[in-house]
């Protein structure tokens, strides 16, 4: 046993090289030998996020063996860092007493994050592990809508009345054991628990003990409603550079607080979701199985097949022209590809502008015109290039002119569709990141093929 502890200690990774193959092998060696002390010694220097990465990288049997050997020393913070699928497996593998020890020290927002996506039986196991006060707080948070501020907030809030002095506040915080692990402000409330101001800890510690909190508090602060979506929370924190914000109910009473770490996590989730949806991919995780991923991707691939059939139908209307001029079949993919790429560029910029709320009714017209003009300018440039290449290669000036004109038209349509489609979907209440790519690609393909082959029929026949 001592040899394994020495091996894991020697293999413990430095800050800049976490989870080296040697370290992972040493950890799994301690697990295989059932060396609890050696495993604890190896994992102790790691951040909980790194331990979560380790659990996600190893196989399910190795994962179950690791948490079994780790036992009650398991850090509950690791559970909140795990991917959903892996987290469910780990929680299922824990005994009730180990689970209780793991969640006891977590703040309520972390417990909510841990329990919200679980099935009812596993969620009940989490709740049973909490003391009565924490359980009530978590159950109340779970009543709020999914991805809302109420789910994101932590219930442990440091509050004080206006008449308190700095000394009163400091003495209060020193005497209480329930204080959050990290917080940045004291929220000043009236007798009805309505927030009236905030005092930053830095300002509090720089003032004399007899100074009243009312003299220090910042009255220009922002509250967040518990039913607001988390994307609004991320937007407010990012725009106004907040470090924390009180969360209030429908009557304006304080019910929790959101801190910068939770807001940035929400911002990261929203950005990741948009990126995945732009590619027609759902909420996939590395731990998901082949069948689950294939089934999730199938829907959008089927939709893409349908749009491809629409494009093929357009092409089928010009079979005689293609048969007479085989060069058209060679050049068609160029027109479609350039239009699709230009549309994707405009689409990406538009979705980002919508997500950051930079695009509003006052500038939407100017934005669309800009994208159309960008498409026109690039269309002219590439039309000259491809028109010259096609004309020289196929020894046909008319063919060069046909693809040049089609290129300009399709690039203009790409800019127009790439900007207008996501804006239109957003107005209709449809997530523009989810459906825009399919519509934009279909538009550029259909118009590109129709313009190219139609012009060819008119000018070359």
- The interaxial angle of helices 432-460 and 327-355, nearest 10 deg, is 150
Mean pLDDT of 418-441: 85
Contacts with 299 (C-beta within 8 Å, 6 or more apart), sequence order:
none
pLDDT band at 17 (very low <50, low <70, confident <90, very high): low
Gap between the Cα atoms of 162 and 199, Å rounded:
10
Listing from the earlier edge strand, what are the strands of the sheet with 254-259?
Answer: 224-225, 244-248, 254-259
pLDDT band at 420 (very low <50, low <70, confident <90, very high): very high
In degrees, to the nearest 5, what angle opens at C-alpha 449 toward C-alphas 444 and 450?
Answer: 100
Phi and psi at 368, nearest 5°, equal: -65, -45
- Exposed, middle or buried by CB within 10 Å (0-12, 13-18, 19+), for 140? middle
pLDDT(1) > 70: no
- Paired tokens of 341: 């790429």
- Residues 6 or more apart whose CB falls under 8 angstroms from that of 34 comprise 69
pLDDT for res 108? 81
Residue 315 CB neighbours (<10 A): 19
pLDDT in tens, 181-205: 889 999 999 999 999 999 999 999 9
Tokens found for residue 420: 């207008």
* CA 128 – CA 120 distance, rounded (Å): 12
Q: What is the mean pLDDT of residues 195-222?
A: 94
Choice among 2-6, 272-276, 429-433 with the minimum mean pLDDT: 2-6
What would the pLDDT profile of 267-311 be if each residue is shown by its tens digit? 877 777 766 666 666 666 666 677 777 877 787 778 888 888 998
Q: Which two tokens stand for residue 286?
A: 């590395």
Q: Which of 182, 181, 213, 209 is nearest to 196 (CA)?
A: 213
* pLDDT for the residue numbered 6: 52
Summarize pLDDT for 337-387 with one digit per residue, the tens.
999 999 999 998 998 888 778 888 889 999 999 999 999 999 999 999 999
Q: What digits encode the pLDDT tens for the residues 225-278?
A: 999 999 899 889 988 989 999 999 999 999 999 999 888 888 877 777 766 666
Could you give the domains of the chain? 2-152 (1.25.60.10), 159-278 (3.10.580.10), 290-460 (1.10.357.20)
**Mean pLDDT computed over 32-55:** 91
- Burial class of residue 68 (count of CB atoms within 10 Å of its CB; 0-12, 13-18, 19+): middle
Helix (H) or strand (E) holding 130: none
| Contact call for residues 118 and 228 (beta carbons, < 8 A) | no
Binning pLDDT at 50, 70 and 90, where does residue 406 land?
Answer: very high
- Whether residue 36 contacts residue 70, with contact meaning beta carbons closer than 8 Å, is answered with yes
pLDDT of residue 407: 95
How far is Cα 191 from Cα 173, in angstroms, rounded to an integer?
20
β-bridge pairing 185-189 and 195-200: antiparallel
Site of tokens 């709020």 = 144
Tokens of 33: 């030998």
453 or 122: which leads in pLDDT: 453
């Amino acid at each position: 046993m001592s040899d394994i502890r020495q091996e894991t200690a020697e293999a413990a990774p430095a800050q800049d090289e976490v989870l080296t193959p040697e370290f992972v092998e040493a950890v799994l060696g301690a697990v295989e030998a059932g060396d609890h002390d050696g495993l604890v010694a190896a994992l102790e220097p790691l951040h909980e996020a790194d331990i979560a990465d380790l659990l996600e990288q190893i196989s399910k049997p190795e994962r179950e063996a690791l948490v079994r050997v780790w036992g009650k020393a398991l850090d509950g913070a690791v559970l909140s860092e795990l991917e959903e699928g892996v987290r469910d497996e780990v929680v299922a593998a824990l005994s009730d007493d180990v689970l209780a020890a793991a969640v006891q020290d977590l703040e309520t927002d972390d417990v909510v994050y841990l329990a919200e996506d679980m099935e009812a039986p596993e969620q009940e196991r989490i709740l049973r592990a909490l003391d009565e006060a924490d359980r009530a707080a978590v159950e109340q948070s779970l009543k709020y809508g999914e991805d809302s501020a109420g789910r994101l907030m932590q219930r442990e809030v440091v509050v004080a009345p206006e008449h308190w002095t700095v000394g009163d506040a400091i003495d209060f915080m020193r005497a209480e054991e329930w204080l959050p692990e990290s917080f940045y402000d004291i929220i000043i409330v009236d007798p009805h628990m309505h927030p009236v101001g905030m005092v930053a800890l830095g300002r509090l510690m720089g003032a004399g003990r007899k100074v009243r909190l009312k003299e220090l508090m910042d009255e220009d602060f922002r509250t967040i409603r518990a039913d607001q979506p988390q994307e609004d929370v991320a937007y407010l924190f990012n725009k106004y550079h907040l470090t924390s914000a009180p969360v209030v109910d429908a009557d304006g009473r304080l019910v929790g607080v959101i801190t910068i770490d939770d807001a940035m996590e929400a911002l990261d989730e929203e950005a990741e979701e948009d990126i995945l949806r732009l590619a027609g991919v759902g909420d996939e995780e590395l731990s998901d199985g082949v069948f689950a991923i294939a089934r999730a991707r199938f829907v959008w691939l089927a939709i893409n097949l349908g749009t491809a059939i629409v494009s093929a139908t357009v092409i089928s209307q010009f079979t005689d022209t293609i048969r007479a001029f085989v060069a058209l079949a060679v050049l068609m993919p160029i027109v479609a590809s350039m239009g699709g790429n230009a549309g994707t560029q405009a689409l990406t910029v538009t979705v980002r502008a919508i997500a950051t709320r930079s695009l509003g009714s006052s500038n939407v017209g100017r934005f669309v015109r800009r994208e159309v003009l960008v498409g026109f300018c690039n269309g002219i440039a590439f039309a000259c290039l491809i028109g010259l290449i096609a004309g020289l290669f196929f020894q046909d000036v008319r063919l060069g002119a046909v693809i040049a004109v089609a290129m300009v038209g399709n690039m203009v349509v790409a800019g127009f569709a790439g900007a207008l489609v996501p804006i239109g979907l957003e107005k209709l209440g449809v997530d523009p990141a989810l459906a825009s790519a399919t519509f934009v690609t279909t538009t550029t393909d259909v118009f590109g093929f129709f313009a190219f082959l139609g012009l060819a029929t008119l000018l070359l026949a």
